[in-house]
C-alpha cells in the first residue's frame, strides 16, 4: 500500500479499536458498510432507514445509529434485544435504534409501506430455516437503489482450519458435504461457497456489486501473536492489502466469511 493508504489504515484502526462495532473480525466489513451508508445518505440527502436482520446486541446497528441513521434490528432472541436496548441507551442513540423480536417471515410487517435503504444480514443466513427464502424477504423490503450487505460463513476456511488442526476426516467432510459442515458436532448448520452465495442473491433480482472474502488470516493467527497494537495494525494492513489486490483475490476464498454487496 502507499504511504497515504498506510495513514488511512492507521487512522481507521485508532478510531475503531475502542468501539464495539470494530475489531480484527469486523473492520473490513464495517469499512464497506460505512462507505455504503455515507454514499447513499449523500445521494438521498437524509438519514437512512436501515434494517439489520439477526443484529442481536447491536454490534453493527449502534455504530450506524451513531452516524445519524435509523436502524431497526429484527432478532428472535429477547435477551439479545435487551442487550441491544441497553447498549443503544449507553451510547446515546436509543431514539434511533428500534428492537423487534422476529425473523425473516416478519420483515414485511416490520417495514410496512416504507422500504428501507440498507439491509444487513451478517452471520444469520447460516442458521435460518430457508436461506433462499430469507434472501428473497430481504430483497423485497429494499427501496429502489437500496443496498444489501450480506456476511456468511465460508466453506474453505473451515476446511483449512480442520486440516491444520490435524482433523483430516473432518476437513474432507466439510469440503465435500452439501452444507459445508465438518460433522455432527459442528456448531454451524451450514456454510457457503462464494459463487453459490452470489447466485442466491442474484436469484432474488438484486444486482451483485462485490463478493470478497474477509478474515483471511485473522481467525488463523494465534491471539498471542497479535497482543500489541503494532501487531494488530500490521495484521489489519495485511488483510486490507489482500482485499485491495486483484492478483491475490483468490486468497479471499480462504476467508472465514464471505461478504456480498448488492443493490436493487
Per residue, the 3-state secondary structure of 42-75, as one string, reads: HHHCCCCEEEEECCCCCCCHHHHHHCCCEEEEEE
Do the bridges between strand 116-122 and strand 142-153 make them parallel or antiparallel, or are there none, so unpaired?
Answer: parallel
Q: What percentage of the chain exceeds 70 in pLDDT?
A: 91
For 38-49, what is the mean pLDDT? 97
Cβ 188 vs Cβ 124: under 8 Å:
no
Structure confidence at residue 69 (pLDDT): 98
| Among the ranges given (14-18, 136-140, 141-145, 258-262), the one the predictor scored with the smallest mean pLDDT | 14-18
DSSP 8-state class, residue 206 = P
- For the CA atoms of 170, 175, 180, 186, the dihedral, rounded to the nearest 10 degrees, stands at 10
Judged against a pLDDT cut of 80, whether residue 165 lies above it is answered with: yes
> Could you tell me which of 74, 116, 64, 70 has the C-alpha nearest to residue 96?
70
Structure confidence at residue 21 (pLDDT): 35
Architecture of domain 3-153+192-263: 3-Layer(aba) Sandwich (3.40)
pLDDT tier at 235, thresholds 50, 70, 90? confident
Chain-wide mean pLDDT for the chain? Answer: 88
| Among the ranges given (85-94, 121-130, 174-183, 216-225), the one the predictor scored with the smallest mean pLDDT | 216-225
pLDDT tens digits, 11-40: 333 333 344 334 667 778 898 999 999 999
Distance of CA 232 to the CA centre of its chain: 20
Structure confidence at residue 44 (pLDDT): 97
Structure confidence at residue 18 (pLDDT): 43
DSSP 8-state class, residue 23 = S
Structure confidence at residue 220 (pLDDT): 80
Q: How far apart are CA 241 and CA 254, in angstroms?
A: 15
For 211-217, what is the mean pLDDT? 88
Structure confidence at residue 185 (pLDDT): 96
Structure confidence at residue 9 (pLDDT): 36
pTM assigned to the model:
0.87
Structure confidence at residue 233 (pLDDT): 81
For 201-206, what is the mean pLDDT? 98
For 195-212, what is the mean pLDDT? 96
Instruction: Indicate the domain borders of the chain.
Output: 3-153+192-263, 155-190
Amino acid at each position: 500500500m502507499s504511504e497515504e493508504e498506510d495513514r488511512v489504515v492507521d487512522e481507521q484502526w485508532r478510531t475503531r479499536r475502542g468501539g464495539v462495532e470494530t475489531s480484527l473480525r469486523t473492520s473490513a466489513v464495517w469499512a464497506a458498510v460505512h462507505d455504503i451508508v455515507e454514499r447513499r445518505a449523500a445521494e438521498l440527502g437524509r438519514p437512512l432507514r436501515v434494517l439489520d436482520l439477526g443484529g442481536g446486541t447491536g454490534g453493527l446497528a449502534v455504530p450506524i445509529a451513531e452516524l445519524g441513521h435509523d436502524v431497526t434490528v429484527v432478532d428472535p432472541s429477547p435477551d439479545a434485544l435487551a442487550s441491544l436496548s441497553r447498549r443503544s441507551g449507553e451510547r446515546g442513540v436509543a431514539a434511533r435504534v428500534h428492537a423487534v423480536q422476529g425473523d425473516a417471515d416478519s420483515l414485511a410487517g416490520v417495514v410496512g409501506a416504507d422500504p428501507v435503504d440498507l439491509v444487513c444480514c451478517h452471520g444469520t443466513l447460516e442458521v435460518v430455516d430457508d436461506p433462499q427464502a430469507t434472501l428473497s424477504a430481504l430483497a423485497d423490503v429494499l427501496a429502489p437503489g437500496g443496498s444489501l450487505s450480506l456476511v456468511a460463513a465460508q466453506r474453505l476456511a473451515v476446511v483449512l482450519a480442520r486440516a491444520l488442526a490435524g482433523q483430516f476426516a473432518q476437513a474432507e467432510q466439510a469440503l465435500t458435504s452439501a452444507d459445508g459442515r465438518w460433522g455432527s458436532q459442528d456448531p454451524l448448520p451450514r456454510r457457503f461457497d462464494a459463487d453459490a452465495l452470489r447466485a442466491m442473491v442474484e436469484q432474488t433480482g438484486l444486482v451483485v456489486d462485490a463478493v470478497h472474502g474477509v478474515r483471511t488470516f485473522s481467525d488463523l493467527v494465534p491471539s498471542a501473536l497479535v497482543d500489541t497494537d503494532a501487531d494488530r495494525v500490521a495484521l489489519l494492513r495485511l488483510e486490507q492489502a489482500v482485499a485491495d489486490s486483484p492478483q491475490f483475490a483468490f486468497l479471499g476464498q480462504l476467508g472465514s466469511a464471505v461478504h456480498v454487496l448488492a443493490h436493487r
